[in-house]
Amino acid sequence: MKRVNIVSIQLVKEKSLSYVTNVVTCPKDASVIAEDFLKGVDREHFVVMCLDTKNKVNAINTVSIGGLNSCPVHPREVFKAAILSNSASIILVHNHPTGDTTPSREDKEVSKRLVEAGEILGIGVFDHIIVGENGKFISLKERGDM
């Protein structure tokens, strides 16, 4: 006789952070939260900010940790936290440890691929923010790169 596992799936809250506001109305709002969340990391981190229907951040999840200049990203990992937290949309965030926020070809390609995946899932990709240092950031949406 073969066995089939019966499972339950849940989102586990590890901790919470306090911010003046957790509502994202512009790329700068997301960059402030992201910079604080990523403070002190020495490698590239790819993070997803999950938003409710009023653009309030309801979850932040580190999707992947890479090396100095790259970080592998797969749609199933990006959208996992968004689905579990019942998010309406997400903001993609990653840092460039060098401090240079210029998007690479790969940054632009992953943005486009994740926008397409989000359309299939019904979860919008609000923006993709690249965080540098000292408050420096760039919005791929504002640049027209996604």
Q: In this model, does residue 69 exceed pLDDT 80? A: no
CB atoms under 10 Å from CB of 23, counted, come to 12
The mean pLDDT value of the chain amounts to 93
**Any idea which residue has 């797969």 for tokens?**
74
pLDDT confidence of residue 100: 94
pLDDT at 107: 96
Contacts of 108 (CB under 8 A, 6+ apart): 140, 145, 146
User: Is 136 within 8 Å of 36 (Cβ atoms)?
Assistant: no
Residue 85 CA, chain-centre distance (Å), reads 13
- Residue 30 in tokens: 């997301």
With 90 as the cut, is the pLDDT of residue 122 above it? yes
Q: Are 96 and 67 in contact (CB under 8 A)?
A: no
Task: In whole angstroms, give the CA distance from residue 55 to residue 93.
Answer: 15
Tell whether pTM > 0.95: no
Record the tokens describing residue 31, joined without a space.
Answer: 């960059």
Q: Given this model, what pLDDT does residue 70 score?
A: 77
Residue extents of the structural domains in the chain: 27-143
pLDDT band at 4 (very low <50, low <70, confident <90, very high): very high
Q: Coil, strand, or helix at residue 62?
A: strand
Q: Does domain 27-143 fall into CATH 3.20.20.70?
A: no
Six token digits for residue 16:
């919470």
